[in-house]
């Protein structure tokens, strides 16, 4: 694996097992961080008009709690991605029930680049198309989350804002919209929204959640916060998050899945270490648990630069593999400048 200023290199890994799977080759190009998309102007804004300060401030307050959920099937293949948002300090978050259909694993990504493993489902309702999941976030005291509006549903004509994930690009920008019709179990919102908005929070001017988008397009529909609160009431204090497939048992032994890397980002070149000619190559051993999470990163051979080592370890901890019985892979990492 290589990382460099204005240079491209490859990642090659190996497993210590006899039948070691091939680690995917990844090309990494160092570049400046992409800024978060600015809030889109309201539907009534003129072309070229800047977003109102209130909309920008509201987006800034809500955006850290919105996540981009990536869901995998039992074979480790990508099923789908969808928006969601944290609703509690203990790392519970909400998305649609459709997002997790057939899933056995998932990760939640935030706008600041953090990637959290999803340990499982706490409650789900196909009727309301809502699901509450548990993410592994440590330390939890740093987690940003949204409060649910406990008052009655907003009446028709009330202004609301839909805030999508920053990882959805410009489609995730905050959008001022209006409640067209209000019912006990659904909110009809005037205006079109992109498909990536499904699972996004619908908030009031105080940043409180009044709904969650369940369908998008030319016509936008949201499930009110009262329905979400009803699903949350099913979660007992001792409820353990789990994926349905992990609870299945069979009398017939199943073959051990062949380990396979499904997510392997390349480490970024450490900021401040950019002198021409600086380079370093090291080897790092990754230990994966049965769920495909990296539980340990061991330095087999240092790059000779502590900043390079720290950058490599931080990124390698984010790697994920397909579910297996647990395995290890040794990955060479090279940092160089031109």
Per-residue model confidence (pLDDT) at position 313: 93
Region of 16 on the Ramachandran plot (φ > 0 left; ψ -120 to 50 alpha; else beta): alpha
At 325, give phi and psi (nearest 5°). -95, 15
What is the pTM assigned to this prediction? 0.59
Cβ pair 106, 69 in contact under 8 A: yes
Per-residue model confidence (pLDDT) at position 53: 65
Cβ pair 13, 21 in contact under 8 A: no
Per-residue pLDDT reduced to its tens digit, 70-117: 999 988 889 999 999 999 988 999 999 999 999 999 999 998 888 999
CATH 2.40.10.10 positions along the chain are 62-146+235-246
Per-residue model confidence (pLDDT) at position 256: 54
Per-residue model confidence (pLDDT) at position 51: 52
Per-residue model confidence (pLDDT) at position 291: 86
Cβ pair 31, 46 in contact under 8 A: no
d(CA 327, CA 315): 18
Q: Provide DSSP, 186-223.
A: -EEEES-B-GGGTT-EEE-TTS-EEEEEEE-BSSEEEE
Cβ pair 162, 118 in contact under 8 A: no
Per-residue pLDDT reduced to its tens digit, 315-333: 999 999 888 878 888 999 8
Tell me which H or E stretch contains 308: helix 306-316
Cβ pair 128, 233 in contact under 8 A: no
Give me 151's structure tokens.
């008052």
Per-residue model confidence (pLDDT) at position 254: 54
Per-residue model confidence (pLDDT) at position 258: 66
Query: CA separation (Å) from 43 to 27, 160, 194, 202?
Result: 40, 12, 14, 16
> Among the CATH numbers 2.40.10.10, 3.40.50.300, 1.20.120.1730, 3.40.50.11400, which is that of 62-146+235-246?
2.40.10.10
Per-residue pLDDT reduced to its tens digit, 120-149: 999 999 999 999 999 998 776 678 899 998
CATH 3.30.2420.10 positions along the chain are 2-26+255-337
Averages of pLDDT over each 10 residues, the chain, 338 residues: 40 39 42 37 41 82 94 90 93 95 92 90 93 86 85 80 91 91 87 92 94 92 91 88 64 59 86 73 91 91 90 92 86 82
> Among the CATH numbers 3.30.2420.10, 3.50.50.60, 1.10.357.10, 3.40.50.720, which is that of 2-26+255-337?
3.30.2420.10
Residue whose entry in the numeric block shows the structure tokens 């006899």: 18
Closest CA to 163 of 129, 131, 130, 193: 193
């Amino acid at each position: 694996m290589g990382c460099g200023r204005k240079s491209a290199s490859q990642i090659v890994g190996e497993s210590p097992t006899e039948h070691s799977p091939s680690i995917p080759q990844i090309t990494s190009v160092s570049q400046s961080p992409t800024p978060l998309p600015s809030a889109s102007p309201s539907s009534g804004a003129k072309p070229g008009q800047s977003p109102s300060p209130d909309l920008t401030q509201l987006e800034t307050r809500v955006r850290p709690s919105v996540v981009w959920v990536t869901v995998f099937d039992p074979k480790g293949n990508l099923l789908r991605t969808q928006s969601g948002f944290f609703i509690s300090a203990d790392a519970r978050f909400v998305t649609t029930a459709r997002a997790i259909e057939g899933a056995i694993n998932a990760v939640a990504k935030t706008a600041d680049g953090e990637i959290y493993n999803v340990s499982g489902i706490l409650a789900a309702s196909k009727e309301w198309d809502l699901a509450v999941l548990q993410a592994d976030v440590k330390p939890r005291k740093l987690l940003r989350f949204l409060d649910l509006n406990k008052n009655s549903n907003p009446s028709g004509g009330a202004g609301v804002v839909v805030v999508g994930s920053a990882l959805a690009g410009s489609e995730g920008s905050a959008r001022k919209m209006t409640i067209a019709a209000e019912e006990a179990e659904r909110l009809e919102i005037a205006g079109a929204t992109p498909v990536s908005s499904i699972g996004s929070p619908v908030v009031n001017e105080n940043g409180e959640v009044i709904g969650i988008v369940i369908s998008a397009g030319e016509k936008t529909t949201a499930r009110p916060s009262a329905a979400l609160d009803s699903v949350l009431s099913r979660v007992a204090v001792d409820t353990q998050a789990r994926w349905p497939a992990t609870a299945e048992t069979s009398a017939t032994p199943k073959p051990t899945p062949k380990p396979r890397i499904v997510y392997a980002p390349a480490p970024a070149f450490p900021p401040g270490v950019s002198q021409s000619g600086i380079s370093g190559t090291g080897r790092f051993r990754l230990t994966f648990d049965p769920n495909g999470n990296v539980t340990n990163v061991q330095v087999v051979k240092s790059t000779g630069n502590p900043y390079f080592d720290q950058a490599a370890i931080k990124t390698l901890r984010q790697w994920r593999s397909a579910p297996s019985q647990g395995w290890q892979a040794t990955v060479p990492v090279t940092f160089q400048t031109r």
